[in-house]
Amino acid sequence: MLSGAQLSKALRVPHAPEGSRAENYLLNHDLQPVRRDARAWTAKSYAAFWLADGCNINVLMIAASAMTAGLTWWEALVSTAIGYSISAVFVVLMARIGATTHCSFPVVTRASFGLFGALWPVLNRAVMACVWQGVQAFIGGKCVTVTLRSIIPSYYNMANRLPASAGVSSRDLLSFFLFGLLNLVCVLPSPQKIRHLFTVKAVVAPIALISFLAWTLHDAGGLGSVIREPATVHGSQRAWAFVGAVVSCVSNMATVVTNQADFARLANRRSAVLWPQLVSVPLVFTVTAAFGILIAAGGQVITGTLEWDPISLLNARLDFDPYHSGTRAACFFIGFSFIIVQLGVNIAANSLSAGSDLTALLPRYINIRRGSILCWAIGMAYCPWHVLSSSNNFATYLSAYSLFLSSIIGVILADYYVLRRGYFNVPRLFSTHDDAGNGLSPYYFAKGINLRAFAGYIAGIATSVTGFAGVLGADVSTAAQHIYTLSFFIGLLVSGGIYLFASWLFPVPGQISLAERKVWLEPRGATGWEDAYWTGAVAGAGAAADEEAASSVDEKDAAVKEALPQQQVNTVSY
């Protein structure tokens, strides 16, 4: 029988760090900054990434659910365009931090929340990825159902042996596990070995969406009947339905906004994450949303029911004409294509992201591959079908958890752009000591936790607690309900504002006085933090003091920076 020490050693990942727990948490193989020759993502890379990522079923569902709320097709389209345009701004703001420091989300979060306080935001993001893993897997299971039904009609009529309280049928549960097995097969290899799946997805997804739209509009008789569908809500109810649709789009992007540093750290220059993302995010997602709206609206003309779920619409088409060979062939092709889409989305957005976060939490025992498998297991273990039971539940879920992430985003943005004006002392993000090794790191704060950041985080969440209680069934005011609808924006602004106020009362090391309005310390002449030109702020100093001390700080930092990129940079092939 293995002893505890032997079991611990057996469970360790290959090449596990051998230092103390604190040292392993602060610096391990998966957390190290991306070295210069591995920063291979160009502007085209980011544009292509969003082209592949934006064509997914979730975006189709969010867009069409706006019509379920009572909006016309063009109002739903405008709301999604506005929502994803706003999301693009947050994507760029968060991405710049990673493109400048070339560090991942678990690392850049340390500057604001503290070296050890960053554990909480990382855990939050990991939980969100695990939840989304299950949601996307269940949607993928629906794709399996329609694909199998198109070639084996009896599969759809499988006898249900589960009670109504389960919330899912035997057929859907089987499809869920079939998709889960495909998902597991894809996460077992290293990320480098499944890159071909993403290439196939980038080709298949647009073809499937275009085919789905053309087929639907052809059978619906064109756009004439679609554009005449009136709104079913009016007045203030209609206005808030529009606002809710906008916020749902932003909330849908909360996870990918939060972890932008994970992708942006691979950029070969800062400009690569600006215009390609600022343009491609709203363009690709709005076009996909338009497809979802038109497909749902056209499907309503054909079947008489507005199906906000495109997979449900495929099943409705099979119900409407189950023996037509063309209908079955179209449903098979589209359903199979959506399986590939869901696999790509789940692995890129959830499995790998959660794997990165879980690696930061338990570096000795979890690497990105093990973390991805653990994320898969969690996603399979809970009941994601309850989240997708109706369009209202789906939108409510997005708004609920995005509130937690928006409060994290608000603190990080306020810290980088206002307090530190674009400068992080990157080597100190990996150590509890200062450059000389005598004092404490400027990001150590109180025992490794920045209480100012947590004050902002809690305040951001607290603003919408009453509205959240109303969603759970409590009797709350209309104002509280509206505040909850805007929870992403309110949480972001309140968390950032409280963090700045607390930092004004109790200044943090390295911050610039809030009275200084024309100070920007992000090095313009440096391509990476290793460059000797990387200048930084002196704790508690303004622009004048920083300029006076810059030369001595550069000389002291140069030796520290020169050693780290050679010995402790990320050697993982991306």
Q: How far is CA 256 from CA 91, 348, 399, in A?
A: 8, 10, 15
Residue 28 placed within a domain: no
Residue 357: per-residue pLDDT: 87
Residue 561: per-residue pLDDT: 39
Residue 432: per-residue pLDDT: 87
The values of phi and psi at residue 336, to 5°, are -65, -40
* pTM given for the model: 0.84
Residue 22 placed within a domain: no
Residue 181 placed within a domain: yes
Q: Which of 434, 444, 455 has its CA nearest to residue 503?
A: 455
Residue 296 placed within a domain: yes
Q: Which of 221, 264, 278, 250 has its CA nearest to residue 94?
A: 264
Residue 18 placed within a domain: no
Residue 539: per-residue pLDDT: 30
Residue 399 placed within a domain: yes
Overall number of domains in the chain = 1
Q: Which of 342-351, 372-381, 391-400 has the highest mean pLDDT?
A: 372-381
Under the banding of pLDDT at 50, 70 and 90, the label for residue 484 is confident
Q: Which of 101, 146, 317, 104 has its CA nearest to residue 219?
A: 317
Query: What is the average pLDDT value for the chain, to the nearest integer?
Result: 82
Q: Is the pLDDT of residue 540 over 50?
A: no
The predicted-structure confidence for 51-79, as pLDDT tens digits, reads as follows 878 888 888 877 777 877 888 888 989 99
Stretch 250-263: mean pLDDT, rounded?
A: 88
Ramachandran region, residue 163 (left: φ > 0; alpha: ψ -120 to 50; beta: rest): beta
Top pLDDT among 149 and 358 is at 149
C-alpha to C-alpha distance for 276 and 46, rounded to whole angstroms: 6
Residue 537: per-residue pLDDT: 37
Residue 556: per-residue pLDDT: 39
Residue 509: per-residue pLDDT: 77
* Residue 246 contacts residue 286 (beta carbons within 8 Å): no
C-alpha to C-alpha distance for 26 and 366, rounded to whole angstroms: 15
Stretch 338-351: mean pLDDT, rounded?
A: 89
Residue 569: per-residue pLDDT: 36
Residue 111 placed within a domain: yes
Residue 7 placed within a domain: no
Residue 303: per-residue pLDDT: 82
Residue 527: per-residue pLDDT: 59
Residue 214: per-residue pLDDT: 93
Structure tokens at 232: 């079913």
* Residue 292 contacts residue 61 (beta carbons within 8 Å): yes
CATH code of 408's domain? 1.10.4160.10
Under the banding of pLDDT at 50, 70 and 90, the label for residue 323 is confident
The predicted-structure confidence for 505-530, as pLDDT tens digits, reads as follows 999 877 777 777 778 888 776 556 66
Q: Which domain holds residue 179?
A: 36-159+167-567
